[in-house]
Chain A
Amino acid sequence: MSDSPKPLSPFKSALRFMKSFQVLAILTSLTGLAFLVMDGMIDGQWDLVTSGWNNVKIFLSETGPPNWSVLEARSYPTCEERYDVFCSIAYIGMLETIKIAFVSTVFGFIGAILLSSLAARNLSPVWLSVAIRILLAAMRSLPSLLWAILFVIVLGLGPLPGILAMTFYTIGYLGKLQYEAIEGMESAPLEASRATGMSRPEVFTNVVVPETSNHLLSQMMFMFEYNVRHGSVIGIVGAGGIGYYINNYLQFQMYDKVFSLLIIIFLVVVIIDFISMGVRSFVNEKGDVRRPSWLTVMLPGKKAAQIHHGIVAEDED
């Protein structure tokens, strides 16, 4: 019996060499297939792409630089606030969008967590979990825009149909993410608590929620960000928020103002992402690790390491 591993045959070595390119081969094949499908769909009219580019240039030249007058107070009603910006269209619209997103995320989260606890296979019997999954699928099969149209027809224009539309969609979407997170949790804590004779609600509140808190928080923050972005879309059908103003400006071809409102939405989404990062650091393991500061990122490696470790040493003292 020899100690060294058996050498591979030339055929097997060649196969192993080819295997190292398999990811590249799969990606190339998929891209090629996608191009073929697209070619069939546009009947080979690839010149549309080049002509479209000219339209983009015209659009950008007409849009021009963003028009920040959206941050100035509206001429009517008279502004009684200390700062003009609080009476501006951007502020009023964005605030209403954030309010709609907040309310629908909170209501949606509560609805979703109740339903997802019943839909998770490791917590509920099959018949119940299947029934709840069908309900959740039905709720998210209609996008929030269609829910909004439905509620605008039923309840009329304003923020209420927007809130209801986004709450319904949030329950459907968040419910799925939550029951998948619950099903993905380790079985040991569940088994340890079940063996002690805890009831299902006790297991859910005392074991499942703290164990999956990182995922639940992350999903809630993602949904809030998603609702802020979609709040601007559903406003277009009259369900309130900044989308209402974007729609108005689009109708009057005031693209420069649309541009500035889009920049504001982008900034709000970035801020929410940072808040989300901060909130999640309370419950995930990354919160335990000291990250290098911005200052040390800019410095050369040796100096950065010196400063970084110096800070650690001070803390330990």
Chain B
Amino acid sequence: MKQTLLDLKDLDVGYSQPLIKNINLTVQSGEVIAITGPSGVGKTTLLRTISGLVRPLKGAVELRVEKRGGLGYIPQKLGLIRHASVEHNIALGSISSSEKMQMFSRIRSAAVLGFILSLFLSFFQYPFGGALFFLCGPGILITSVLSQRLLHQQKQTIVWNAMKAVRLSDKQHEPVRRLSGGQQRRVATARTLAQSPSLIVADEFLSELDDANVTIVIEAMLNIIESGSSLIMVEHNLVRAKQLAHRIWTVENGTITEEVIEDE
């Protein structure tokens, strides 16, 4: 059963003047949408508006995905942390990924806060605070350590799987700045895979890649799409767009036209 993940209603996008007017489109789960059109017509602005980074000038963007981690965004400049390792960059995706992770994270935060609070009380509310600290402190500390351990294990599994999917497991501890352009694009893809969002918004994520890298990235993306996620991507290569996408949105003269690609 297909769900509507994105509903664009009478949408005008742009900064001070509208670049694209009156957009009325929807995206279903498991769909791949390719956006094409000449440079400077507002494709990136449309993606930024869908991602909630730019306010719509008119109309509404109705996103029916989880507020936290439901949308994955790969900007044109990738948005990687250049000084951090491949592992750290990919782990950023896992922060807002599963509910289990969020639960562990909340338990850990609560435990750490509780420990600090009881320590504070033990100093200022003697002897009551001291007794409370000795009674509750060890329990809180153990909870904190255990939740941290579980969080770490869960994160490691997610990150490792994402790294394997883009064939970067041998570069785990390498700083991103030392990687080639193609490898950096694979890291950005892996970050989104680790997040496993319902809707992926990718801005020219296949550009500047050689054929081997394109194959790796597309394979990884198709795997997540098969599990029900959707992909909206800006793609200049029309042949590739027709191979991958279910629908093509062509932006021209401030309007969008939709073309449905028939399955071969």
A189 to B188, CA, bound (A): 10
Is A283 at the interface (CB under 8 A from chain B)? yes
The answer to whether A210 and B77 touch (CB under 8 A), given A195-B51, A195-B71, A202-B95, is: no
The answer to whether A192 and B84 touch (CB under 8 A), given A207-B92, A285-B177, is: no
Q: CB within 8 Å of B: which of A280-303?
A: 283-285, 288
* Contact partners of B77 in chain A: CB under 8 A: 186, 188
- Check if A191 sits within 8 Å of B83, measured CB to CB: no
A188 to B92, CA, bound (A): 14
Is A198 at the interface (CB under 8 A from chain B)? yes
Task: Give 1 or 0 for each of A196-235: 1 = CB within 8 Å of chain B CB.
Answer: 1110001000110011011000000000000000000000
Is A193 at the interface (CB under 8 A from chain B)? yes
* Contact partners of B67 in chain A: CB under 8 A: 197
Cβ-closest chain B residue relative to A284: B83
A186 to B72, CA, bound (A): 19
- Check if B195 sits within 8 Å of A188, measured CB to CB: no
Interface of chain B, main secondary structure: loop
Chain B, interface size category, equals 35 or more
A189 to B71, CA, bound (A): 15
Is A194 at the interface (CB under 8 A from chain B)? yes
- Check if A191 sits within 8 Å of B75, measured CB to CB: yes
The answer to whether A211 and B83 touch (CB under 8 A), given A186-B77, A196-B96, A196-B197, is: yes
Cβ-closest chain A residue relative to B195: A196
Interface size on A, residues (CB 8 A): 23
- Check if B83 sits within 8 Å of A283, measured CB to CB: yes
Tell me which of B52, B83, B178 contacts A195 (CB under 8 A). B52
Cβ-closest chain B residue relative to A287: B175
A207 to B77, CA, bound (A): 15
- Check if A197 sits within 8 Å of B96, measured CB to CB: yes
* Contact partners of B247 in chain A: CB under 8 A: none
* Contact partners of A198 in chain B: CB under 8 A: 68, 92, 95-96
* Contact partners of B95 in chain A: CB under 8 A: 196, 198, 202, 206
* Contact partners of B76 in chain A: CB under 8 A: 188
The answer to whether A193 and B71 touch (CB under 8 A), given A188-B79, A211-B82, is: no
Q: CB within 8 Å of A: which of B165-203?
A: 177-178, 188, 191, 195, 197, 201
Interface of chain A, main secondary structure: helix
Is B93 at the interface (CB under 8 A from chain A)? yes
Cβ-closest chain A residue relative to B85: A210
Q: CB within 8 Å of A: which of B25-64?
A: 48, 51-53
Is B69 at the interface (CB under 8 A from chain A)? yes
Is B241 at the interface (CB under 8 A from chain A)? no
A192 to B53, CA, bound (A): 9
* Contact partners of A197 in chain B: CB under 8 A: 66-71, 96
* Contact partners of B51 in chain A: CB under 8 A: 191, 195
* Contact partners of B72 in chain A: CB under 8 A: 195-196
Tell me which of B68, B83, B88, B93 contacts A214 (CB under 8 A). B83
- Check if A206 sits within 8 Å of B92, measured CB to CB: yes
| A79 CB, min distance to chain B CBs, angstroms | 39
- Check if B79 sits within 8 Å of A189, measured CB to CB: yes
| A186 CB, min distance to chain B CBs, angstroms | 7
* Contact partners of B191 in chain A: CB under 8 A: 192
The answer to whether A191 and B80 touch (CB under 8 A), given A197-B67, A210-B88, is: no
**Which B residues have a C-beta under 8 Å from some C-beta of A?**
48, 51-53, 66-84, 88, 92-93, 95-96, 177-178, 188, 191, 195, 197, 201
Q: List 15 A-B contacts (CB under 8 A).
A: A188-B77, A189-B81, A190-B79, A192-B75, A193-B79, A195-B52, A195-B71, A195-B72, A195-B73, A198-B92, A207-B81, A210-B83, A211-B84, A214-B83, A288-B177
**Which A residues have a C-beta under 8 Å from some C-beta of B?**
186, 188-198, 202, 206-207, 210-211, 213-214, 283-285, 288
Known: A188-B77, A192-B73, A197-B67. 8 other contacts (CB 8 A): A186-B77, A186-B79, A196-B71, A196-B197, A206-B88, A210-B84, A210-B88, A285-B177
